[in-house]
Amino acid sequence: MEAAVSQAQHVDLLVLPETNLILVASVIEPLRAANRIAGRTLYSWTMFSPNGEAIETKSGIPIPVAGPFRPQRETSPLFVLSSYNWQCSATSQLKMLLSQTARYREVMAGIESGSWLLAETSLLDNFSATTHWEDFEDFAAAYPQVTMVRERFVIDGKRITTGGSLPTLDLMLELIRRAHGYSLALEVSRLFIYEQERTRGDLLQMPAIGNMRILDTRVGAAVKLMEETVEAPLTLHRLARRVGVSARHLQDLFKETMGAAPHEHYLALRLNAARRKVIETRMEFADIAAISGFNSSSSFSRSYRAHYRESPSETRRRLKLKS
C-alpha cells in the first residue's frame, strides 16, 4: 500500500453483517485523521456489503454502504471486514467475486474474521497470516496451507491479516508510516491517546506505531523526556544518561521497540508540534522554529520540507485557498 505523497490512495471495504462498529472505525478513522493532519486528501474509501444493504453492526448501529460488492477490474486495496458468523456470508457467489477481483487488486486484507473468508477462498494459500487469538488454533487446523503467525497483524506481500480491532488500528498506523513517513503516523497515533489523570510519574499514555508497544520503561521514560523538552532538545548522550543507559544501548532499545532511531522520533515530535503551529496559528516562522527546538528558520524550513514535501509558507497558502 505504498503511495506517492501527491496521490490519494483509494481503499475499498467489504463489510460483512454482524461486524463490530469499532472494527470498521479502526480502519477508517486513522485514514480520516491522516487526511485532517496532512490538510489534504491522502486517503479515500468506499464501503460495500455483500447485498448492497446497510450493514447492521453488532451494536445495532447500521452502516450505510455505496452498494453491493460487484467488482470489475479495480486495483485498489480491498479490506474484508468481519467479526461474527462470517460463514453466513460465504456464498459461492461472494467467493467467486473475491477470487476474480484478487487477480487485479494490489492488496487483499482480511480484517479480523475477514481472514477466514480469504482463507476459505484460497486467497491465503502459501501466505503467512494471523487471526483473532480465540480462533487461532481452529484456523491453523482448518487451513494447513496457511502459515499462521502469532502477531497482532501480518503483512505478507499482497496479503494482510489482523487479529482484532486494536491490532487493526496498529496495522493502519503502519501502512500510514510506510506511505507517508514516521512523523505522520506518530501524529495520527497521538490523536487516539486516552488521557487518564496521571497518578504515577512513569505512566506513559502512548499508543502504538504499527506493531510497536512501549513495554521497556527506559524507552518510555526517554519518550516522556522528549515530549517535555521539545523547545530545547537534549543530546542523545544526555537523554541516555537521564534514563540510566548508554547512548548506544538507548539507540538499540528504540530500534527494537519503536522501529525508529531516537533522533527520528525526537524530530517527528518537534516537527509535528511545529506543523500544528503553522496550521492553527499566525505565528512567525522564526518563532515557531524557536519553540520547536530549531537553531534557525532555515534549518526548520529544510526539515519541514523534507518531511511534508512543502514549505511552511506553502502549507499556509494551500490551506488558505481551501478555506
Residues 6+ apart with CB under 8 A from 301: 285, 289, 311, 312
**Cβ-based neighbour number of residue 156 at 10 Å:** 16
> What pTM did the predictor assign?
0.82
Question: What pLDDT is recorded for position 40?
Answer: 86
Per the document, the length of the chain is 323
Which has the closest alpha carbon to 160: 28, 188, 168? Answer: 168
Tell me the pLDDT tens digit for each residue of 172-223: 999 999 999 888 988 898 887 643 333 333 333 344 454 345 567 888 889 8
Indicate where the chain has its CATH 1.10.10.60 domain(s).
215-310
Given CA atoms 105, 86, 137, 132 in this order, what sign does their dihedral have?
A: positive
Match 521497556 to its residue by C-alpha cell: 216
Q: How would CATH label the architecture of 215-310?
A: Orthogonal Bundle (1.10)
Rounded to whole angstroms, the Cα distance separating 49 from 276 reads: 37
The pLDDT value recorded for residue 39 is 82
Cα R_g (the chain), whole angstroms: 22
Rounded (5°) CA angle 284-287-292: 125
Residues of the chain with pLDDT under 50: 2-5, 194-208, 210-212
Confidence (pLDDT) at 248: 95
**Residue 275: how many CB atoms within 10 A of its CB?**
23
C-alpha cell at 154: 501480518
pLDDT attached to residue 322: 66
Which has the closest alpha carbon to 277: 267, 290, 264?
290
What local confidence, expressed as pLDDT, does residue 108 receive? 98
What stretch(es) of the chain map to CATH 3.40.50.880? Answer: 9-180
CA pair distance 249, 228, nearest whole angstrom = 22
CA distance 179 to 13: 19
Residues with Cβ within 8 Å of 91's Cβ and at least 6 positions away in sequence, in order, are 50
Report whether CATH 3.40.50.880 matches the domain 9-180: yes
